[in-house]
């Protein structure tokens, strides 16, 4: 564990992510205004002591909306990656443990999924269902499990014939116990690293979708849809575009620094440079 914090970048990533998590958690306590309260007397005000990040075209307080938007971004990231990781672990474990034709079928499905431009696929599904936060989390999850599947399978293939696994098998351990008791715990580190990096890209995808108007719908605030308003008013209200963009940038940067740092710390091979 000590090794992890030796890299200052990892520590910075950790601090960024935990601050954003904290702010999102206590959003109702620190938000100065109701994020959806429209105030026609305060339309497009610049940042001031009253409104830290100014107000938007409907007079809503941008700082409060940013805080609640953080909840959305973090939730989408966690749930989408949770879904993807779960699918990836199950499919990757089956493929790597049993091999044979099951492996072939699963890995060819991965190939097919990787051949379809993911962002197109997500947009298409959203078009057929309706854009809502739950649909977005599910769709991002269902279109991003391929990496984890490959990873878990590769880990299982390399662990499958190690002595400790063979020993457990010789002692009569059932498949279920071998997979969940021995193989999976020993593959956890790369799975966690890839999940953290996955959250970063899920946050980017969600904000992109919301920016295009196909993500989180008004009046619910998300960093992406605050930016959409920012695009409308870019000539008069720079604060509407600047803050949500910076927030997305910081969040993704934080997850990437953290994920990369953990990988380097636990994988000495990638650390040799």
Partner 1 sequence: MASYLLKRILWMMPLLLGISLISFFIMHLAPGDITTSEASFNPKASEESRQKLRALYNLDKPVIVQYGLWVKRLAKLDFGTSFASHQRPVFWQTTDKDGNVTLGMIQEALPITLLINVLSLLLIIGIALPLGVISALKQNQWPDRGITMFVFLGFAIPGFWLALMLMYWTGVQHSWLPISGLESMGHENLTWPAQIWDTLQHLVLPVFISAITGLAGISLFVRNGMLDVLHQDYITTARAKGLNENKIIYGHALRNALLPLITIFGLSIPGLIGGSVIAESIFAIPGMGKLFYDAVLMRDFPVIMGILTIGAILTMLGNLLADVSYAWADPRVRRGAM
**Rule CB under 8 A: which residues touch partner 1?**
9, 108-109, 111-121, 123-129, 200, 204, 207-208, 211-212, 214, 227, 230-231, 234-235, 238, 241, 244-245, 248-250, 252-253, 256-257, 273
Residue entry with tokens 């279920």: 176
Quote the least distance from Cβ 129 to partner 1, whole Å: 7
State which H helix or E strand residue 71 sits in: helix 62-98
CB of 63 to partner 1, least distance (A): 18
Tokens (6 digits) for 133:
């936060």
Burial 87-106, CB ≥16 within 10 A → b, else e: bbbbbbbbbbbeeeeebeeb
Shortest Å, Cβ 37 to partner 1: 26
- Which of 83/179 has CB closer to partner 1? 83
Which of residues 178 and 227 has its CB atom nearest to partner 1 in the complex? 227
Residues 118, 119, 121, 126, CA torsion sign: positive
**β-bridge partners, 61:** 55
Minimum CB distance to partner 1, residue 241 (Å): 6
Nearest distance, CB of residue 115 and partner 1, angstroms:
5
* Prior bond of 219 cis (ω within 30°): yes
74 near 22, Cβ under 8 Å?
no
In the complex with partner 1, which residue's Cβ is closer, 98 or 233? Answer: 233
The string over 1-29, giving b where at least 16 C-beta atoms fall within 10 Å of a residue's C-beta and e elsewhere, is eeeeeebeebeebbebbeebeebbeebee
Q: Which is nearer to partner 1, 120 or 164 (CB)?
A: 120
138 Cβ neighbours under 8 A, 6+ residues apart = 80, 83
Closest to partner 1 by CB, 66 vs 159, is 66
Shortest distance (Å) from residue 215 CB to partner 1: 12
Tell me how far apart the alpha carbons of residues 4 and 265 are, in angstroms, rounded to a whole number. 5
CB of 43 to partner 1, least distance (A): 20
With respect to partner 1, which residue has the nearer C-beta, 83 or 184?
A: 83
Nearest residue (CB) to partner 1, 87 versus 121: 121
Residue 271 near residue 265 (C-beta atoms within 8 A): yes
2: its two tokens: 């000590």
């Amino acid at each position: 564990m000590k090794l992890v914090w030796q890299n200052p970048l990892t520590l910075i990533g950790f601090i960024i992510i935990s601050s954003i998590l904290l702010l999102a958690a206590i959003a109702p306590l620190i938000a100065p205004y109701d994020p959806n309260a429209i105030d026609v007397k305060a339309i497009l005000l610049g940042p001031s002591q009253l409104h830290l990040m100014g107000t938007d075209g409907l007079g809503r307080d941008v700082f409060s909306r940013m805080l609640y938007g953080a909840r959305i971004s973090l939730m989408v990231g966690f749930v989408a990656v949770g879904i993807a990781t779960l699918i990836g672990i199950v499919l990757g474990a089956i493929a790597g443990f049993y091999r044979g034709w099951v492996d072939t079928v699963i890995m060819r499905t991965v190939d097919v999924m990787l051949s379809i431009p993911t962002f197109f696929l997500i947009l298409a599904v959203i078009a057929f269902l309706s854009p809502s936060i739950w649909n977005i989390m599910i769709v991002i999850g269902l279109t991003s499990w391929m990496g984890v599947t490959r990873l878990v399978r590769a880990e299982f293939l390399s662990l499958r014939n190690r002595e400790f696994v063979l020993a457990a098998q010789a002692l009569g351990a059932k498949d279920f116990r071998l997979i969940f008791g021995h193989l999976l715990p020993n593959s956890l580190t790369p799975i966690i690293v890839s999940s953290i990096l996955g959250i970063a890209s899920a946050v980017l995808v969600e904000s992109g979708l919301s920016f295009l108007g196909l993500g989180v719908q008004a009046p619910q605030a998300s960093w992406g849809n605050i930016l959409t308003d920012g695009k409308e008013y870019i000539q008069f209200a720079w604060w509407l575009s600047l803050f949500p963009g910076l927030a997305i940038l910081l969040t993704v940067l934080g997850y990437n620094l953290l994920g990369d740092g953990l990988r380097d710390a636990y994988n000495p091979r990638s650390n040799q440079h």
